[in-house]
Amino acid sequence: MTVLEPFGARLRRAMDERGPLCVGIDPHASLLAEWGLNDDVAGLERFSRTVVEAVAGRVAVLKPQSAFFERFGSRGVAVLEKSVEEARAAGALVVMDAKRGDIGSTMAAYAESFLRRDAPLFSDALTVSPYLGYGSLKPAVDMARESGAGLFVLALTSNPEGAEVQHAVRTDGRSVGATVLAHLAAENAGEEPLGSFGAVVGATLGDLSSYDLGINGPLLAPGIGAQGATPADLPRVFGAAVRNVVPNVSRGVLRHGPDVAALRKAADRFAEETRTAVTAS
């Protein structure tokens, strides 16, 4: 099996070549209806194939949300497997948005499901939750290193409920979110041109200058588009770390479907706006 270049290096190159943009694949029921599709496996497959056909050959990252496929059972997971395969074949990096988190052998099984090179759902990176303790992620960290994959760890999320955990202050005076970022900085120490262990940090959070976002790894930033943030907000939110931001847009692109040309135009616009904002900072 060919050894993969580390995820961080592959991501840096993809963002430089295609623009720093991640497009979500979120086939929830209301969006399927907007596209004129039934809320069933056939509608799911049509939706996913159309998104992959439209943008996988031009954006840096595609991020399928696993839950919207899992709700259809094994047939939905089969659609997800095919979507991942076709997206990667078209040159996009795939971040599986599954937000897995557990301990011991269970975490190891999650890692094998998404990060083992010969797994049907192998993805270039996986979103994970550290809230059973950062150390609980070790099986995923180890598997990612072995496979040339990456992780995006929930650190400072855009949902308001996240603050009660992520902003909580430990006995050492550091917040939980800041502690997660510090762990990731340690994972990425010395990696060039970019580490493979990233954080999820919401683009809607405003001034984050009190946090050290310089983790030498990517920052997956949900909130662009429908949630209210714009590419122009990125330098203000992320400061000196803005070049490593991977803004995620879902509905802002997907609402233009099922027309393939319209989806491409929307993705190209967000990618260019993001590139301009990052370059100008």
Question: Could you report the per-residue pLDDT of 145-186, keeping only the tens digit for each?
Answer: 999 999 999 999 999 999 999 999 999 999 999 999 999 999
Given a cut of 70, whether residue 281 has pLDDT beyond it is no
State mean pLDDT over 222-250: 91
HEC profile of the chain: CCCCCCHHHHHHHHHHHHCCCEEEECCCHHHHHHCCCCCCHHHHHHHHHHHHHHHCCCCCEEEEEHHHHHCCCHHHHHHHHHHHHHHHHCCCEEEEEEEECCCHHHHHHHHHHHHCCCCCCCCCEEEECCCCCHHHHHHHHHHHHHHCCEEEEEEECCCHHHHHHHCCECCCCCEHHHHHHHHHHHHCCCCCCCCCEEEEECCCCCCCCCCCCCCCCCEEEEEECCCCECHHHHHHHHHHHHHHEEEEECHHHHCCCCCHHHHHHHHHHHHHHHHHHHHHC
Mean per-residue pLDDT of the chain = 96
Q: Look up the domain containing 234 and give its range.
A: 7-276
Q: Is residue 257 part of a domain?
A: yes
> What are the residue numbers of the active site?
99
Domain membership of residue 47 (yes or no) is yes
Domain-located, residue 17:
yes
Model confidence at 276: pLDDT above 70: yes
Q: Is 2 within the bounds of a domain?
A: no
CATH of the domain at 92: 3.20.20.70
Tell me whether residue 77 is in a domain. Answer: yes
Position 9 pLDDT exceeds 70? yes
Could you tell me the pTM of the whole model?
Answer: 0.97
**213 within domain boundaries:** yes
Domain-located, residue 26? yes
As for how many domains the chain has, the answer is 1
1 part of a folded domain: no
